[in-house]
Structure 1
Amino acid sequence: MPTLDVFNIEGKKIDKIEVSDSVFNVELHKNAISECVIQEQANKRQGNAKAKDRSEVSGGGRRPWRQKGTGRARHSSNRSPLWRHGGVTFGPELRSYYYSVPKKVKRLAMRSILSDKVREGVVCVVDAINPKEFKTKQMAKILVNLKVNDVKSVMQPEGKDKLSNNKIEKLATKRVLVVTRESEEKVYRSFRNIEKVRVLPSNSISVFPLAWAERLVITKDALLKIEEVLK
């Protein structure tokens, strides 16, 4: 069974935890991961492009001139696609890009990508995220303590925004996914101003955020809950 070190927020190793082979020691299945990532991205699409065809454009109920005798080409409506202000032929229609993949494929992809993260050594288990103050500065320090990221403070360039020339931005060098057991507003609000850092509760993680992340910081409680669900 794979064994993971457990750290506190100061970066000191305080414990070890054994995780299940059936969840964290699974062969890499690239096809399952790819299928789930594409499905998640497709389900985010809005599909709200729409153009009116000749039956939907306002007006055009009366033909512009009689059929014969004018010498001009015959037309049945001035809302024909041939006319200015007419309808669009084969234009975009409202549609849903939503589709689903089998539950077994999703679970296989989750197990596969979690196992791959463990093998790569990019998973950092934290006992709890409970600093004295829930501030961005403290959260940036935690990431540095855990050696999962380097967070630098930089000044915005002059002229970019007159109202925020003195604003300090937090720039992270690695993409980090922080996973907590439950949704924690204070943790989310403290991390959200650090670039390339995302915070998700354990019941909201999916294949795409895990594939996106270069480093995974997960609380011990969240790890046990994920293991219980995927076992």
Structure 2
Amino acid sequence: MASVSVYNMEGKETGKIELNDSIFAAPINEHLVHMAVVLQLANKRQGTQKAKTRSEVRGGGRKPWRQKGTGHARQGSIRSPQWKGGGVVFAPVPRDYSFKMNKKEKSAALKAALSAKVSENKLFVVDEMSLDAPKTKAIKSLMDNLETSKALVVVEADNKNATLSVRNIPTARGIYANSINVYDILKYDNVILTKDAVKAIEEVYA
């Protein structure tokens, strides 16, 4: 099984933890990882962009001049696309950009992203992040101790203070273990997980 070091909040190594190979040492399928990222970004798009075609622009019902004899090019409407104020040729219309992936594909993509971080030594496990109140300084100090400036901090589902503590750090993001996703894993250089978060991920994806 894959083994990584466990650190405390001071950044000192306190032991080792065995990771589930089916999750943290899985085959890296770049196609599925790319697909998962495109899926997440596409599903976030509102798809409300709209422009008018020549049939939707007000006016232009009368032929501006006769067909022949004026010296001008023939024209049928002042709302044709080549006219100022005319319609757009292939105008965008409201649409749904979302698409779906199979559950097994999503799971394989997430496992591949996590496995890549482990193989690159960019995944850190912290024994716990127990904070009495949101303290940005505590999380920033942890990141400095682990020598990482851009990190995804993953904590167990009930650790609200830890996620709130990350909010004021522009180069970090705090999420719960049940919200972990491929896009965030790839966006940030390093992933910092608590031991409870590792356990929660293994319970779901093992």
Both structures adopt the same fold (TM-score exceeding 0.5): yes
**Deviation at 1:137?**
1.9
Are 2:190 and 1:191 equivalent residues in the alignment? no
Shift of residue 226, structure 1, vs aligned partner: 0.7
> What CA distance in whole angstroms lies between the structure 2 residues aligned with 1:222 and 1:230?
12
> 1: distance between equivalents of 2:112 and 2:2?
14
Map of 2:175 onto structure 1: 200
User: CA offset at residue 39 of structure 1?
Assistant: 2.4
For residue 198 of structure 2, what is the aligned residue in structure 1? 223
Q: Aligned residue for 1:104?
A: 104
Q: Which runs of 5+ in 2 are unaligned?
A: none
TM-score by length of structure 1 reads 0.75
The one of 170, 183, 186 aligned to 1:211 = 186
For the residue of structure 2 that corresponds to 1:23, the secondary structure is helix
Aligned AA (2:166): F
- For the structure 1 residues 86 and 17, does the alpha-carbon distance in structure 2 shift closer, same or farther, using more than 3 Å as the test? same
Distance 1:183 1:95 in 2: 37
Which residue of structure 2 aligns with residue 159 of structure 1?
Answer: none
Structure 2 CA distance, aligned partners of 1:89 and 1:116?
Answer: 45
Residue 180 of structure 1 is matched in structure 2 by 155
- Does the Cα contact within 8 Å between 1:39 and 1:100 map onto a contact in 2? yes
Residue 123 of structure 1 contacts residue 215 of structure 1 at CA under 8 Å; is this kept in 2?
Answer: yes
**Structure 2 CA distance for aligned equivalents of residues 132 and 180 of structure 1:** 15
Q: Which amino acid aligns with 1:117?
A: K
Alignment of 1:1-231 (within 5 A): 1-60=1-60, 62-63=61-62, 77-145=77-145, 147-149=146-148, 174-182=149-157, 184-231=159-206
Q: What is the RMSD of the two structures over their aligned residues, measured on CA atoms?
A: 2.8
Contact 2:24 2:111 in 1 (8 A): yes
Shift of 1:179: 0.3
* 1:138-173 C-alpha deviation (Å, 9 max, x unpaired): 22112223x142xxxxxxxxxxxxxxxxxxxxxxxx
Q: Deviations over 1:152-206 (max 9, x none)?
A: xxxxxxxxxxxxxxxxxxxxxx320000121644323322222311111111111
CA contact (8 A) 1:175 1:212 kept: no
What are the Cα deviations for residues 99-133 of structure 1, in whole angstroms up to 9, with x where unaligned?
12222221111112212222222221112212355
Determine what percentage of the aligned residue pairs are the same residue. 39
For 1:204, give the aligned amino acid: S
- Are the counterparts in 1 of residues 134 and 161 from structure 2 also a CA contact under 8 Å? yes
Task: Give the 3-state SS of the residue equivalent to 2:131 in structure 1.
Answer: coil
Contact 1:109 1:207 in 2 (8 A): yes
| Letter of the 2:143 counterpart | L
Contact kept, 8 Å, 2:151 with 2:171, in 1: the verdict is yes
- Find the residue that maps to 1:225 and give its secondary structure: helix
In structure 2, the CA distance between the partners of 1:15 and 1:65, relative to structure 1 (3 Å rule), is: closer
Whether contact under 8 Å (2:67, 2:75) holds in the other structure is no
Structure 1: 5+ residue stretches without partners? 150-173
TM-score of the superposition, structure 2-length normalised?
0.83
